[in-house]
Structure 1
Amino acid sequence: MIPRAALLLGLAGLIPFLWGAATVLSPALGDWGARALGPRFVGPYVGLAYGTVILSFMSGVLWGFATKANGTEAAFGYALSVIPALWAFFLVGGGPVSAAIWLAAGFVLLLGLDVMFWRQGLAPHWWLRLRFGLSAVVVACLMVPVFA
């Protein structure tokens, strides 16, 4: 079972992604949000900015998992754990559509790393149940500006 705090915080972390997608799909909501919050907090911009932060944050989570390993397994885990942050730094940019595609791909690839750390017993037993659900919503929200 996913711990309640992890589940609630994970779900709360979806709010900026859902908000960004909603403001793309509803121009009226997007206009209201731009006036009330500012243009960087609506449309694809909020999802891209927040997604870049979260992808980088996930590097730190993976680094924490790597600390549970030893020797070569730990070194390999540390090396792999920096990939999401580097992915965000080097590949996310160039306009909202390409940034959304690269960022969504980063979250999909992150799942592969999640699975690897989980199989090695470095991630909690409930980790993949949480990550697959959250990632599905994140990727769907990031794709809204691509297809809208």
Structure 2
Amino acid sequence: MTSIPRAPLILGLAGLIPFIWGAFTVLSPALAAWGLENIGPRFVGPYVQLFYGSVILSFMSGVLWGFATKASGSQAATGYVLSVIPALWAFFMTGGGPTSAATNLIFGFIGLLMLDFAFSRWGLTPRWWMQLRVLLTAIVVACLAVTVI
């Protein structure tokens, strides 16, 4: 295994904060009340997770697009097509209330992990990519599951 460089690891872990915070505020009414009073309703419970999850899926579409630029021919075309799926998924699948939106985000992040694996297998990602993506995806899915349950 290739170790994950420090900067991507720290930034990736920092990017989990809204998911973790959202899960904690779902589990703790006292923390949710504090969050409502001090930072507002958009930044507690499922709301922060759902909005941020949609943003991150869209961001990851851009990351995959960047990986596709390293390919050529039909592999590049396939990479470009696949790279837009996470953003489209976030756009179309996060309505209908917090439970269904969180469920769809879980499926979106699992699907993204499968796309990460494909791009990795094609040699378009850094060697440490999957190690980072599995770690981050597991935590994101666990935090979103708190909202679903």
TM-score using structure 2 length:
0.98
Distance 1:93 1:40 in 2: 16
Which residue of 2 is the match for residue 36 of structure 1? 38
Distance 1:76 1:45 in 2: 33
Aligned ranges 1:93-132 → 2 under 5 Å: 93-132=95-134
Distance 2:66 2:112 in 1: 15
The structural deviation recorded for 1:87 is 0.3
**Secondary structure at 1:65 match in 2:** helix
Distance 1:114 1:56 in 2: 14
Any stretches of 5+ residues in structure 2 without a counterpart?
Answer: none
Which residue of 2 is the match for residue 23 of structure 1? 25
Amino acid at match of 2:124: L
Which residue of 2 is the match for residue 84 of structure 1? 86
The structural deviation recorded for 1:145 is 1.4
- Listed one character per residue, the Cα deviations across residues 88-108 of structure 1 (whole Å, up to 9, x for unaligned) are 001111000000000110000
Which residue of 2 is the match for residue 53 of structure 1? 55
- Listed one character per residue, the Cα deviations across residues 66-107 of structure 1 (whole Å, up to 9, x for unaligned) are 000001110110000000000000111100000000011000
The structural deviation recorded for 1:146 is 1.2
Amino acid at match of 2:72: N
Distance 2:51 2:145 in 1: 14
Distance 1:71 1:145 in 2: 42
Amino acid at match of 2:49: G
Distance 2:72 2:127 in 1: 19
**Secondary structure at 2:125 match in 1:** coil
Which residue of 2 is the match for residue 144 of structure 1? 146
**Secondary structure at 1:123 match in 2:** coil
The structural deviation recorded for 1:116 is 0.2
Number of aligned residues: 147
RMSD: 0.4
Amino acid at match of 1:94: G
Which residue of 1 is the match for residue 66 of structure 2? 64
